Amino acid sequence: MIMKNKNNENAVDEWKPNASAPLWDEESECEPKGPFFRDLEIEHIKQIGPSCVPTTLAMLARSTGADVGPDDFKEIINSQSPHTWSKALQPYGLQLAYCNHDLRRLRYIVDELVAHDDLFLLCFYSVDPPSDPDENGKLCTAHIVTLHRDKIIDTAKSHLCGVSLASQYPRLERQTKRIFRVVPAGYPRRV
């Protein structure tokens, strides 16, 4: 049943859902304002084997002064559970917060994220189409990279090729799986 009122008889009839949302909704008045990690110095680490998640987490923790490596994270995370990634970063003063996203290719979102001038983790699918699992129930492989300000740090690449300008990253045609903003531990929004 559609209810009508004297002030705006067609209010319910005229409502339409939003077609899109910003990747990061503006902070509310009770949330600290970003950017949070503009001055962080992140040193590239080359992953060994299929270890992009623990290598990326180690890279972030090391940027806070911690003496850790990927093996320190392998035992305490599930590579398919971002909640465990966020929990593993908390002792280093970091946590993850989900961003709005969909299956758009990275090239459609990178400029919006760069404009925040902060620290994000971008997860993307490695093949097209990513939607159906294989005969073993496994969804296609995915990868995670770090976007810090205007640079992408890719642990799958060697040191010389592992850091590039976001606008020149060679895998911008990949479809997004997840996007996280790295926020201070205790931030109201979290994974």
Half-sphere exposure of 174 (CA within 13 A, CB side): 20
Tell me the pTM: 0.88
Per-residue CA distances from 93 to 16, 33, 87, 96 (Å): 41, 16, 10, 11
Strands (E), the chain: 94-98, 119-125, 142-148, 151-153, 163-165, 176-184
Strands 176-184 and 119-125: antiparallel
Return the pLDDT at 179. 97
Return the pLDDT at 12. 61
- The answer to whether 124 and 147 have CB atoms below 8 angstroms apart is no
- The answer to whether 40 and 119 have CB atoms below 8 angstroms apart is yes
Q: To the nearest whole percent, how much of the chain has pLDDT over 70? A: 91
- The answer to whether 112 and 22 have CB atoms below 8 angstroms apart is yes
Return the pLDDT at 60. 98
9 pLDDT above the threshold of 60 = no
Return the pLDDT at 1. 46
pLDDT tens profile 72-123 = 999 999 999 999 999 999 999 999 999 998 889 999 999 999 999 999 999 9
Domains of the chain, start order:
35-184 (3.90.70.10)
Return the pLDDT at 152. 98
